[in-house]
Structure 1
Amino acid sequence: MRTGLWFSLLACFAFVGLAQAQNPFSVGMAYTTEPLVAFEQAQQPERPSWDRLLFGPAPEGYRGLAVSARLLAWSVPWTLVGSTVGLASDDPWQRSFWLTNSVWAAVNSGIALVGLLGPEPSKDSLRDLLYINAGIDLLYIAGGVFLALQPDARSQGAGWAIALQGAWLLLFDLLNGLALENR
């Protein structure tokens, strides 16, 4: 069990390091001339450090990146620990619970990576997206509770995992959306 936790933390730091790497390619470079590219690069502020993205208020101009980094920091350990514990368990409820958490978090990791590598959204579009996701999170919670109330142990384990992940995502989306309201 401890080995799985250490492996999860190590993998999380590896993902953080990969995502921090600057992408030298962008669509904008294809449409500009060389002197303009050099001028634009000189005007861009330096990308914030990971501790600045993960903790405290999201830096101006990097709010989408901060939200994606925080989602990735939640998702990677859940993916690794969930798959490790789920595959090691013989109990159908435990196996279903942990593997469902793992798959759910893996999808969130993919979404976070897209956010890390994509363009920075505007404050308003990011806020609207977070609120739309919060509404969808309520559906996840309801679906998870419905599954958790089924008589089958596998359905119960998967249902509680979905409800747990949906509840966390609801908090995550609402808190990040509200933080954008105040700025």
Structure 2
Amino acid sequence: MTINVIPAPDEVGRATGLADISAARVDFNCYVQAQYPHGSTHVSGTINVVVTTKCDVPVARMRLAAELYRISPYARYVGVPKVDTDVISLKANAATSCSAGPAKFQGLALATIQPPAGFKLRGSPSRTERGLVRSVACGQAFAAADAGGGDIAESWTLNFVRADAESD
């Protein structure tokens, strides 16, 4: 997973009341997750990975992209990046044809987050799980127990704090 944090804008946003958020909040979190690659239940005949970014409050700008990797023989499948401003969450995916399997796959989330004006990243992002390689073949049901009890392969939490609330 790749996460970039860019500095907050100099001016407080107008669109979704970011001025109110900056004044009322001391801190907030953003979460970036990548699911295990799986045979798609939405688009027949494909293997895909879904990635999400969700923040507690709207952020100035967010970009999210997904990549799906076949481990052997190596192949990389890139999804269309999603970009939005004054947004709380984004969802993206990358997919390939079922003919690329059965094989071992890994998903990757690439996120860029720009917090509202007056906020900065506190510390380093914390990772709760590592993106794991998973065997995928179309037509086989996803078994959460086989994947460690859930559909999330990797999860990161980023904590943003008011720039005037914490010194470096």
Both proteins in one fold, TM over 0.5: no
As a proportion of its length, which structure holds more strand? 2
Structure of greater Rg: 1
Structure number with higher helix proportion: 1
Comparing both chains, which one has the higher relative contact order based on Cα–Cα distances under 8 Å and sequence gaps of 6 or more?
Answer: 2
**Alignment TM class, shorter chain as reference:** under 0.3
